[in-house]
Chains A and B, each alone.
Chain A
Amino acid sequence: MSINWVGLWTIIRREFSRIMRVPIQAFLAPWISALLFIFIFGFVVGKRFPPIGGHRYIEFVLPGVLMLNIVNAAFLQSTSQTYFQRFLRYIEETLVAPLSYIEMIVGSLAMTIVRTVITALGILAIGVAFGATTVDSVPEFLFWVVGVSVIFGLLGIIVGLWSNNFEQLTMLNVFFITPLSMVGGVFNTVNMLPGWLKWLAYANPFFYFANGVRHSMIGYSDWAEALPLGVAVTLGLSAVLLLIVWRLYAVGYGLRE
């Protein structure tokens, strides 16, 4: 059977309508947060740090801040979309419709990407306006924004399907995303870490995401091999998570009675 393009577009349209009920939470909050980071790291604290690879500290930090906001936007979008649809049972509208599992997943991910791209472009525009960043490579920038969105969008779907209450929705964020992102080279170079901690950073996917986004914006990479490895980590994780989500949809986990 052919792809249900209208159905796919309707999933995106509908979710966009839901997001536009909370534009401050969805878009304004990360932009204001980026503005505050620029103020603190650009004009207050940042002046005390020496340049890193020839870049001011704010130039080094802002790509990581942008990456953190993409991660949060993607994860929040897909967990809330999936969980609220289940909680209020209107997920049944799509279950009774002629939509394939892949169409449902792609529709959900597409909206996640729309939200994160708007978030990222807003932060980028603010950064450029305040002279805090540049864009070294637009295709590379888009690759990282979309790649990170897909990974955390898929993780968000899994958590949204698994959660049976609001407490469970936040668990991955509290115990996994926030700690790993903080030690993933957002605020410091890996070279600042002691030897044994460097290897921990290299084992942390957030390091590759932050490093990739940073390279696409200011052309600086902590470690030359980190870029191809980061691309492999991003594509590999996306593929594995997509398979898991597809399987969960196919068996109806968290969706069907």
Chain B
Amino acid sequence: MTTPALSISHLRKVYRGGLVAVDDLSMEIAPGDFFGFLGPNGAGKSTTIHCVTGIATVTSGTIRVFGVDAVKDYREARRLIGLSPQMFNVDPFATPRQIIDWMGGYFGMTAADRKRRTDELIERFGLRDHADKRFRELSGGLMRRVILCRALVHDPKLLILDEPTAGVDVELRRDLWRYLQELNRDGKTILLTSHYLEEVERLCKTIAIIARGQIVRQGTKDEIVREPGGLEAVYLRATGAEPDHVAAPAAGAGR
């Protein structure tokens, strides 16, 4: 049996103050999958990701990354993950080159490997003319590229992208889609959260929908989009945003 890239079992996260952000959440991502993680704001997507990556503590439950316990063997588990977070968590006075190089350093990469990989990513993401500017001087789209480079510097086996195309222009979005598809074809497992349903539909092989801290729907993309109304209708029904009779398409209407 293949070890899942990510296995979450009965995860519960309660914040100080008593807010239950994730409640008994279980899911698995197969190696090589392109996994779409959907849900409304505040549903628990980012909290789940933060628990997986160590930004948040786990109240109860287990998380395994390629079989490695993300709490007990957190250092080994973190080597396997690259995170592009939703919020820019960067020293605004540092340059993109420094940000990428430092992240490589935290992951134990040698100076030569960091230099090669940083140059490669700067070139790949069109950052050559901006590599030595301060992060705070960059446009939103360029900032997003830097964050992606930082997530990729150590060539992680599991790439977690929390709304990676929020606020970026159409060109970058399409370029990023191509790049992510290439990475996935090469065997990298990707977990993607997004509010753009067409993005998830275009890229992902498996989709899970979370609402109020629990997985309310999970399946392959193909089976979900075949349902009446397609992904959007399934999403609205699953999250309780729209009752079944409203979301159901009119007779003869295409998806």
Of B50, B57, B107, the contact of A98 (CB 8 Å cutoff): B107
What is the total of A-B residue contacts with beta carbons within 8 Å?
88
How does the 8 Å CB contact mask read for B98-110 relative to A, with 1 for contact and 0 for none?
1000110111111
| Complex contacts, A13 vs chain B, CB 8 Å | 102, 105
- What is the size, in residues, of chain B's interface with A at 8 Å between Cβ atoms? 34
- Tell me whether B241 is interfacial, beta carbon within 8 Å: no
- Tell me whether B53 is interfacial, beta carbon within 8 Å: yes
Contact size range, A: 20 to 34
The stretch among B75-83, B125-133, B189-197, B243-251 that forms the contact with chain A is B75-83
Q: Report how far A17 CA is from B134 CA in the complex, Å.
A: 13
Q: Quick check: A7 and B89 within 8 Å, CB to CB?
A: no
- Tell me whether B179 is interfacial, beta carbon within 8 Å: no
- Tell me whether A44 is interfacial, beta carbon within 8 Å: no
Q: Report how far A218 CA is from B67 CA in the complex, Å.
A: 61
User: How many whole Å from A118's CB to the nearest CB in chain B?
Assistant: 21
* Residues 71 to 102 of chain A near chain B (Cβ within 8 Å): 88-100
Q: Quick check: A9 and B55 within 8 Å, CB to CB?
A: no
- Tell me whether B92 is interfacial, beta carbon within 8 Å: yes
Given contacts A256-B56, A257-B55, contact A88 B76 (CB under 8 A): no
Q: Report how far A7 CA is from B75 CA in the complex, Å.
A: 12
How does the 8 Å CB contact mask read for A1-45 relative to B, with 1 for contact and 0 for none?
100111101110110011001000000000000000000000000
Q: Report how far A228 CA is from B63 CA in the complex, Å.
A: 50
Q: Quick check: A90 and B108 within 8 Å, CB to CB?
A: no
User: How many whole Å from B85's CB to the nearest CB in chain A?
Assistant: 7
| Complex contacts, B47 vs chain A, CB 8 Å | 257
User: How many whole Å from B33's CB to the nearest CB in chain A?
Assistant: 21
- Tell me whether A252 is interfacial, beta carbon within 8 Å: yes
- Tell me whether B219 is interfacial, beta carbon within 8 Å: no
Q: Quick check: B15 and A96 within 8 Å, CB to CB?
A: no
Given contacts A98-B79, A256-B56, contact A89 B87 (CB under 8 A): yes
Q: Report how far A98 CA is from B75 CA in the complex, Å.
A: 4
Given contacts A92-B55, A99-B75, contact A21 B93 (CB under 8 A): yes
Q: Quick check: B75 and A256 within 8 Å, CB to CB?
A: no
- Tell me whether B94 is interfacial, beta carbon within 8 Å: yes
Q: Quick check: B110 and A6 within 8 Å, CB to CB?
A: yes
Q: Quick check: A257 and B56 within 8 Å, CB to CB?
A: yes
Of A1, A14, A17, A92, the contact of B89 (CB 8 Å cutoff): A92
Q: Quick check: B107 and A14 within 8 Å, CB to CB?
A: no
Q: Report how far A196 CA is from B126 CA in the complex, Å.
A: 71
User: How many whole Å from A4's CB to the nearest CB in chain B?
Assistant: 5
| Complex contacts, B102 vs chain A, CB 8 Å | 10, 13-14, 93
- Tell me whether B27 is interfacial, beta carbon within 8 Å: no
| Complex contacts, A257 vs chain B, CB 8 Å | 15, 47, 50, 55-57
5 A–B contacts, CB within 8 A, in A order: A4-B108, A96-B53, A96-B55, A98-B75, A256-B54
Given A13-B102, A14-B98, A257-B47, 19 other A-B residues pairs in contact with their CB atoms under 8 A: A6-B108, A6-B109, A18-B93, A88-B89, A88-B90, A88-B92, A89-B89, A93-B89, A93-B90, A93-B103, A93-B106, A94-B106, A95-B54, A96-B55, A97-B106, A97-B107, A98-B74, A98-B108, A256-B54
